[in-house]
Amino acid sequence: MGAIGYYLFFAVNWTITLLPLRVLYIFSDFLFALLYYFPGYRKKVVRKNLKNAFPEKSDEEICKIEKGFYHHLADLFVEILKLRNLPNDEQLIRYTVSNTQIFDKFRSEKRDVIGVLGHYNNWEWPTLLGQHVNYLTIVIYKPLKNKYFNRFMNEQRSKDGLKLAPTSMIIKDIINYRNHKINTFSVFIADQTPPGLETDHWTTFLNQDTPFFKGAGKIAAKYDMPVVFMNVQKIKRGHYNMDFEVLFEHTSGIEEKDIIETYVRKLEDQIKENPEFWLWSHRRWKHKRPQPDA
């Protein structure tokens, strides 16, 4: 999509998302039918991912999870578009944050912190996160190929003071803020698909060989940064809660792969509890584990 198409989309989106969410969810119900039935969106990918992840489940159980996922995906699409016109006072009601007191000790020790979460429930709405944890908060992101939509998403994510850093710049940014005596909370959505190289961390995740970026573990271990899991749960339609859990208070001397593995197991347990809220349409398993040389 070029510039003209983008600005047309922006204008239409701005106008539509002035409507309240209760109205937009009517559109979401219609969108669900398009995504699930006519013509369907990545249904083969979703079905294959679910069957591989849960081989013990019956076809009926898989279909139930699949249908729940597409309902959630339609809601998520509407919620992400609404974010630009979602008033802060309404956002604070719809997206609550708990257990923020764990940051008190880290702030008193003037320590930077790493946060990890997955593409689970709504990961785009907590743009007020820095105000909750009282840290300069950096969200690490993978730039989109389309420069116009990349700008659209970045403007939404940073509208309330969040800082953004592409994966290639995060270490430089952390060092820069450290030099200015500013402590940071760096957030990694750590279940993105890496290139599938031998340098990635390979593990068994949801019953399949899966690579993970080691960046969060590498940075945490290098600078002895606490690692916090950001557990996002859906309370009801359009309402979420993010709860913080300390995975590591100190990471000096801990291997980066062990840090990532702890995160992977936590995320896996979260997904197994309510699988319909994870991003199953993502082509997560397109790489194969490298085989050792004979």
Q: What tokens were used for 56?
A: 């013990």
The arrangement of strands across the sheet holding 239-248 comes to 95-98, 239-248, 227-236, 113-117, 184-189, 136-141, 163-166
CB-based burial, 183-202: b 16+ in 10 Å, e otherwise: bbbbbbbbbbbbeeeeebbb
Q: How far apart are CA 98 and CA 116, in angstroms?
A: 16
DSSP assigned state of 112: -
147: exposed, middle or buried (C-beta count within 10 Å: 0-12, 13-18, 19+)? exposed
Maximum Cα interatomic distance, the chain, rounded to a whole number of Å: 61
Output the pTM of the full model.
0.93
Nearest to 129 by CA among 240, 226, 264, 21: 240
Residues in contact with 94: Cβ distance below 8 Å, sequence separation at least 6, in sequence order: 86, 125, 238, 239, 240
What residues pair up with 233 in beta bridges, in sequence order? 241
Q: For the chain, which residues score pLDDT lower than 50?
A: 294
Would you say 263 and 229 are in contact if contact means Cβ atoms under 8 Å apart? Answer: yes
For residues 18 and 87, what is the distance between their CA atoms, to the nearest angstrom? 10
DSSP 8-state secondary structure symbol assigned to residue 120: B
Q: Could you read off the pLDDT of 175-210 as tens digits, one per residue?
A: 999 999 999 999 999 998 887 776 789 999 999 999
- Residue labelled with tokens 């403007």: 155
pLDDT of residue 5: 77
pLDDT score of 256:
95
Q: What one-character DSSP code corresponds to residue 168?
A: G
